[in-house]
Amino acid sequence: MSKKKDGKKVAEVSSEKLGAKEYERELEKLHVELVKLQEWVVAKGLKVCVVFEGRDGAGKGGTIKALTERVSPRVFRVIALPSPTEREKTQMYSQRYMQHFPAAGEVVIFDRSWYNRAGVERVMGFCSEEQAKRFLDVAPAFEKLMVESGIILLKYWLEVSEEEQTRRLSQRIDDGRKIWKLSPMDLKSYSRWYDYSRARDEMFEKTDTPWAPWYVGQSNDKKRVRLNIITHLLSKIPYEEIKRPKIVLPKRQKPEGYKEPDYPYKVVPAVF
């Protein structure tokens, strides 16, 4: 289902929040499929690159965690780069991202990517308008080279409403578990909703290509968007289940005289 908003077609999203039990049940099924995909990627030497972008508070981190929590970090590598060093600032812009691109048998997930230049760097003045325009002109050709080299490139944008973003960022202020997510940059960015909207719109216009399209996830319901994105990702990478022999645990060796030593171990206190 879809509907029109401001002249654009957007996905219809259920207004009813997904329950925790239904979410966990569906996520477990998807995790099984992700393990199958992992084994297929390794067996066939596939190179997969997944880009996550979106508004602050849109749920990129939670979506990435749901995607990766049951697979191997040696295959599914998450890249979340800090601010560039002084040396990196003098390099070709894409250079620090390219070194993390997938080799055969890898799925690399960028928690924010080279699209920083089209978003936060442009809006917050960390690059010139000329540099941002140049990036938007070059990015499609750069991504075409990626795809032609054999990389499966998937780009996801997570969108959240103004009201839901405000609610989530406000929650972080008083939550000791989440306060680290609220940086001074997040606070500055919060006030520039429409600057980010304009930057997003031009980014889509210039870089939403047949070979590297953008896929938008409506994330007012975090649980739904996680399930929807994982399901979509699985549909975009053809894979089959790798048949493996039945696993049987071998017999343990006999102690042959071994006894536990009387050693004064420093035991972790049983507080709970």
pLDDT of 144 over the 50 cut: yes
Q: What is this structure's pTM?
A: 0.90
Residue 64: half-sphere exposure toward Cβ, Cα within 13 Å: 26
The three-state secondary structure class of 159 is strand
Q: What is the pLDDT of residues 152-187, one digit of tens each?
A: 999 999 999 999 999 999 999 989 998 988 888 888
Say how far apart CA 141 and CA 133 lie, in whole Å.
14
Mean pLDDT of 55-69: 96
pLDDT given for residue 185 in this prediction: 82
Output DSSP code: residue 179: G
Output DSSP code: residue 181: G
Q: What is the pLDDT of residues 200-218, one digit of tens each?
A: 999 999 999 999 999 999 9
pLDDT given for residue 181 in this prediction: 85
Ramachandran angles phi, psi of 160, nearest 5°: -135, 150
- Residue 105's closest CA among 162, 41, 155, 48? 41
pLDDT of 76 over the 80 cut: yes
pLDDT given for residue 186 in this prediction: 82
Q: What is the pLDDT of residues 227-254, one digit of tens each?
A: 999 999 999 999 999 998 999 999 999 9
pLDDT given for residue 47 in this prediction: 98
Position 271: which residue type? V
Say how far apart CA 171 and CA 178 lie, in whole Å.
8
Show the domains of the chain with their CATH numbers.
Answer: 5-9+14-84+92-236 (3.40.50.300)
Please report which confidence band the pLDDT of residue 189 belongs to, taking 50, 70 and 90 as the band edges. confident
Average pLDDT, whole number, for the chain?
93
Residue found by looking up tokens 């042959």 in the block: 256
